[in-house]
Amino acid sequence: MAATSNTVRGGTVLPADAARWAMWTFVVVNAVIVEALFLSAGSGKNGVLTVAKFFGLHAALLMLFQLLLVARLPWLDRRIGMDRLTVWHRWVGFSLLWTVLTHATLVVLGYATLDDTSMGKTFLALSGVPASLLGMLAATIILLIAVISTRSLRRRLRYEVWHGLHLLLYVALGLAFVHQLQETTTFTSSAFATAYWWILWLFAFGSLLTGRVAMPLWRNAYHRFRVTAVVPESDHVVSVYVTGRHLDKLPARAGQFCIWRFPGHNHWWLANPFSLSAAPDGRGLRLTAKAAGSTSAGLRNVPVGSRAFVEGPYGAFTSLHRTRPGALLIAGGVGITPVRAMLEDQATGDVVVLYRVRGEADAVLLNEVRHLVALRGGRLHLLTGRTAEGAAPPFAPGSLHRLVPDVTERDVYVCGPPAMTAAVLSSLRALNVPARQVHAERFGLA
Ligand SMILES: Cc1cc2nc3c(=O)[nH]c(=O)nc-3n(C[C@H](O)[C@H](O)[C@H](O)COP(=O)(O)OP(=O)(O)OC[C@H]3O[C@@H](n4cnc5c(N)ncnc54)[C@H](O)[C@@H]3O)c2cc1C
């Protein structure tokens, strides 16, 4: 979800801005505390070791911040969006790597200088010290994960393989925690330091366990999701209808997505994100999936009556971020799913829909979209065909402006393939549509 602004709506701070402020306040306050603790704890055995400690403390802070970014805390997720939080997680991850490597190098260099010996010998000697060994193992795991997360390697790995290896980071966190505990000065430099680090670690792990484990388990036990119908929409697209108990209590909004598992049908470790393709009505949920790989292709074989394990709802692609009375909803291909749901959300106001597909036969849920747009007295432009060489693409600034002359007066919601989404976002910038009015959902989290 891309919504940036520090302006206000009707005198109140926009939700995305409130969340950004909360995040920055958290970071700045904790950085100040950590620096104060560093200064008050006194210097290390030599200058290099003092600087090493500075980096070590900040590595711990970055690690804890990483946990919060992936904790899927509903308040943050609805305001910032999982895709943007994942991008931040990626950048904080690489910063963490460099901080950890600098810390480790300076520790070895510091002790080598102290003992007047080589760095190689010092490294071997330190690996015999339990506290240092744990730190080294944590650093090695962080390095491994950073390597497999570089774009070129990530592209070559299957999502499940990459994700499985990525989970090793929790092992690294455990090792880093014990490493920090055993390092004499950090936790014990003062009573305040002891209390601060314990509270911070408990808060970060508590948030993670709440958002990633406790809430999904509780929700599934409470709602008991079950498949009620599986309806092919075309040769490659299928809709799955799910019901459950007390669905009126599920805090889902049109435009959001869930992470779905169908135990018994797929392996339990296969979980895929799919948007809600109809606005939640308190009685049922629906996903509509295009066959991309074996899981999405196999959804048409999920038996009616089978259990579903649903995580979420997640995402900030909703009318919570609306800033204008009217909306332009732009969808490409199966990116229509959250847009279709938003058409049932009156909060999006007066709507214009641009739906880009190769041919009318490829337009998923087209009849429903037509019907809902007509009900709301909106406008639908079905943009078919491939962009011919030399012809102006339909989302070039001029074309977009011709189709929707008041585009700058609307909130614009975009969901489609990455290339199309990027083209639309670039045209909106060229047309000077304020960034706070632009909201995008990307069908890729990793
Ligand atoms: C927020 C969001 C909403 C989405 N909504 C829809 C929708 O409404 N309809 C629809 O057809 N598609 C949607 N997608 C895309 C859909 O999740 C993938 O097409 C699907 O997971 C493919 O899984 P597969 O096992 O069939 O194919 P695979 O061949 O295993 O995967 C194809 C690609 O999908 C991505 N993918 C697979 N599993 C995951 C995962 N667990 N998390 C993130 N990415 C994954 C990977 O990049 C992979 O390369 C959405 C994606 C996201 C991130």
- Say yes or no: 326 and 228 in one domain: no
- Cα 401 to Cα 253: distance, rounded to the nearest angstrom: 29
Q: How far apart are CA 149 and CA 127, in angstroms?
A: 27
CA distance 165 to 148: 9
Query: Is the pLDDT score of 386 beyond 80?
Result: no
Q: Is 445 a domain residue? A: no
Q: Do 117 and 152 sit in the same domain of this protein?
A: yes
334 C-alpha to ligand 1 centroid (Å): 11
- Specify which residues 353 forms β-bridges with: 329, 380
Distance CA 22, CA 415 (A): 27
Q: Which tens digit of pLDDT belongs to each residue from 165-206?
A: 888 999 999 999 999 888 766 677 788 988 999 999 999 999
> Which atom of ligand 1 sits closest to the CA of residue 160?
38
Distance 48 CA to ligand 1 centre (A): 47
The residue among 29 and 443 whose pLDDT is bigger is 29
Distance (angstroms) between ligand 1 centre and the Cα of 244 equals 24
pLDDT value of position 391? 54
Per-residue confidence at 6, pLDDT binned at 50, 70, 90?
very low
Task: Name the least confident of 37-46, 166-175, 377-386, 433-442.
Answer: 37-46
189 and 164 both lie in a single domain: yes
For residue 314, list its beta bridge partners.
Answer: 257
Structure tokens at 202: 């408990």
Taking only Cα atoms into account, the Rg of the chain, rounded to an integer number of angstroms, comes to: 25
Q: Is residue 7 assigned to a domain?
A: no
Q: Give the pLDDT band of residue 436 (cuts 50, 70, 90).
A: very high
Task: Please state which of the ranges 97-101, 154-158, 219-223, 318-322 shows the lowest mean pLDDT.
Answer: 154-158
Question: What are the φ and ψ backbone dihedral angles of 351, each rounded to 5 degrees?
Answer: -115, 145
Quick check: 1 pLDDT over 60? no
pLDDT in tens, 259-280: 999 988 777 778 899 999 999 9
Query: Which of the four pLDDT bands, split at 50, 70 and 90, describes residue 224?
Result: very high
Tell me the two tokens of residue 41: 């704890």
Residue 6 placed within a domain: no
d(CA 178, CA 76): 29
Residue owning the nearest CA to atom 25 of ligand 1: 295
3 found inside a domain: no
Do both 285 and 339 map to the same domain?
no
* Domain annotation covers residue 446: no
- Residue 235 in any domain: the answer is yes
| Pairwise CA distance, residues 285 & 288, whole Å | 10
Residue 108 neighbours by CB under 8 Å, 6+ apart: 119, 122, 123, 126
273 Cα–ligand 1 center, Å:
6
Nearest-CA residue for atom 50 of ligand 1: 443
Say if residue 79 is in the same domain as residue 166. yes
Angle, helix 168-182 to helix 159-166, in steps of 10 degrees: 10
Are the CB atoms for 152 and 121 separated by under 8 Å?
A: no
Q: Which residues line ligand 1 at a C-beta cut-off of 6 Å?
A: 159, 257, 271-275, 288-290, 292-296, 334, 337, 443-446
294 lies in some domain: yes
The reply to whether 196 and 228 lie within a common domain is no
3-state SS of the chain is CCCCCCCEECCEECHHHHHHHHHHHHHHHHHHHHHHHHHHCCCCCCHHHHHHHHHHHHHHHHHHHHHHHCCCCHHHHHHHCHHHHHHHHHHHHHHHHHHHHHHHHHHHHHHHHHHCCCHHHHHHHHCCCHHHHHHHHHHHHHHHHHHHCCHHHHHHCCHHHHHHHHCHHHHHHHHHHHHHHHCHHHHHCCHHHHHHHHHHHHHHHHHHHHHHHHHHHHHHHHHCCEEEEEEECCCCEEEEEEECCCHHHCCCCCCCEEEEECECCECCCCCEEEEECCCCCCCEEEEEEECCCHHHHHHHHCCCCCECEEEEEECCCCHHHCCCCEEEEEEEHHHHHHHHHHCCCHHHCEEEEEEECCCHHHCCCHHHHHHHHHHCCCEEEEECCCCCCCCCCCCCHHHHHHHCCCHHHEEEEEECCHHHHHHHHHHHHHCCCCHHHEEEECCCCC
Mean pLDDT, residues 243-265 taken together? 94
- How far apart are the CA of 274 and the centre of ligand 1, in A? 7
Percent of the chain with pLDDT over 90: 75
**Predicted pLDDT at 236:** 93
Residue 2 has pLDDT above 70, yes or no: no
Looking at the structure, do residues 333 and 374 belong to the same domain, yes or no? yes
Q: Which tokens is 44 given?
A: 């290390």
Strand bridging mode 438-441 / 410-415: parallel
Examine residue 350 and state whether it is found in any structural domain, yes or no: yes
CA of 190 to the centre of ligand 1 (A): 48
Question: Of 181, 201, 220, which one is at a domain's C-terminal end?
Answer: 220
Q: Is residue 388's pLDDT more than 70? A: no
Kindly give the number of the ligand 1 atom that is closest to the alpha carbon of 298.
26
Q: Whose CA is nearest to atom 41 of ligand 1?
A: 272
| 10, pLDDT greater than 70 | no
Residue 67 has pLDDT above 90, yes or no: yes
> Closest Cα to atom 40, ligand 1: which residue?
272
| 327 and 305 co-located in one domain | no
Q: Closest by alpha carbon to 280, among 253, 313, 259?
A: 253
User: Residue 302's domain is classified under what CATH number?
Assistant: 2.40.30.10
Number of domains the chain contains = 3
Q: How many CB atoms lie within 10 A of CB 117?
A: 12
pLDDT tens-place string over residues 270-321? 889 999 999 999 999 999 999 998 889 999 999 999 999 999 999 999 999 9
Q: 117-151 pLDDT, tens per residue? A: 999 999 999 999 999 999 999 999 999 999 998 88
Residue numbers of the domain that contains 266:
224-314
Quick one: average pLDDT of 363-379?
95
pLDDT at 9: 53
Domain boundary among 188, 220, 252: 220
Average pLDDT, the chain: 90
Q: Are residues 212 and 229 in the same domain?
A: no
204 and 232 within one domain: no
Domain CATH number, residue 427: 3.40.50.80
**Does 300 share its domain with 324?**
no
349 confidence band (pLDDT: 50, 70, 90) = confident
Of 314, 347, 366, which residue sits at a domain end? 314
Mean pLDDT over 94-99 rounds to: 95
CA 205, chain centre distance (Å) = 18
Task: Reply yes or no on whether the pLDDT at 381 is more than 90.
Answer: yes
The distance of Cα 108 from the centroid of its chain, to the nearest Å, equals: 36
pLDDT for res 374: 95
Residues 345 and 388 in one domain: yes
Please give the average per-residue pLDDT across 161-165, as a whole number: 87
Ranges 5-14, 48-57, 218-227: which has the least confidence = 5-14
